[in-house]
């Protein structure tokens, strides 16, 4: 009897509170998904695929930056068609991050934007619809490679924090993204 009264009382309080409290607004309002931009965002055209020699140069630059900082990462470079061109698993890099580094590179080239854009949209603006898009990864560490105004590939790093992965990718991508 006491239990039934308690359940009834809790249900009544929950109903009262749900109808009397104003709806909370998110801390930072997301840009309207209904807004129509004048120009197409992330519209850098695709170019010829990055070659193996250039991809290897990026891998070496990323590994040098990661080594300088004492981080063991997995590093992947894909071409403009999202095909793996070069990969390095540094000594001690975690195994689970092998496919993640490739995924970050592929997402960056397929969507023509750094993967940080997905992380920011999910974290800052709560745009959960991103999770319904094929091949999205909402974690920084994937950077498109743009040469002469065209995307030739992307680099992806994984094994550290998102900011560590991004720092290493950015340092290597700077060799091409000028």
pTM: 0.81
- Helix H, strand E, coil C: the string for the chain is CHHHHHHHHHHHHHHHHHHHCCCCCCCCCCCCCCCCCCCCCCCCCECCCCCHHHHHHHHHHHHHHHHHHCCCCEEEEEECCCCEEEEEECCCCCCCHHHHHHHHHHHHHHCCCCCHHHHHHHHCCCCHHHHHCCCCCCCCCEEEEEECCEEEEEEEEECCCHHHHHHHHHHHHCCCCC
Per-residue confidence band for 12, with pLDDT thresholds at 50, 70 and 90: very low
* pLDDT at residue 21, as a whole number: 41
Q: What is the mean pLDDT of residues 152-176?
A: 98
Of 18-27, 104-113, 146-155, which gets the smallest average pLDDT?
A: 18-27
* pLDDT at residue 49, as a whole number: 98
* pLDDT at residue 16, as a whole number: 42
Instruction: Report all structural domains of the chain as residue ranges with CATH numbers, in order of start.
Output: 52-173 (3.30.450.150)
pLDDT tens for 81-140 read: 999 999 999 999 999 999 999 999 999 999 999 999 999 999 999 999 999 999 999 999
């Amino acid at each position: 009897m006491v239990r039934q009264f308690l359940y009834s009382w809790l249900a009544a309080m929950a109903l009262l509170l749900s109808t009397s409290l104003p709806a909370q607004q998110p801390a930072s309002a997301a840009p309207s998904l209904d807004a129509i931009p004048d120009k197409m965002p992330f519209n850098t055209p695709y170019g010829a695929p990055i070659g193996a020699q250039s991809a290897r140069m990026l891998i070496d630059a990323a590994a040098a930056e990661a080594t300088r900082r004492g981080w063991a990462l997995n590093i992947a470079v894909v071409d403009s068609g999202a095909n793996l061109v070069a990969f390095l698993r540094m000594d001690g890099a975690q195994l689970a991050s092998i496919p993640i580094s490739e995924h970050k590179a592929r997402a960056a080239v397929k969507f023509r934007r750094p993967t940080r854009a997905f992380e920011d949209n999910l974290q800052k603006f709560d745009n959960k619809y991103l999770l319904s898009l094929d091949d999205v990864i909402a974690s920084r560490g994937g950077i498109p490679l743009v040469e002469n105004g065209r995307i030739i590939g992307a680099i992806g790093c994984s094994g550290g924090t998102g900011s560590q992965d991004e720092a290493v990718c950015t340092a290597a991508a700077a060799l091409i993204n000028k």
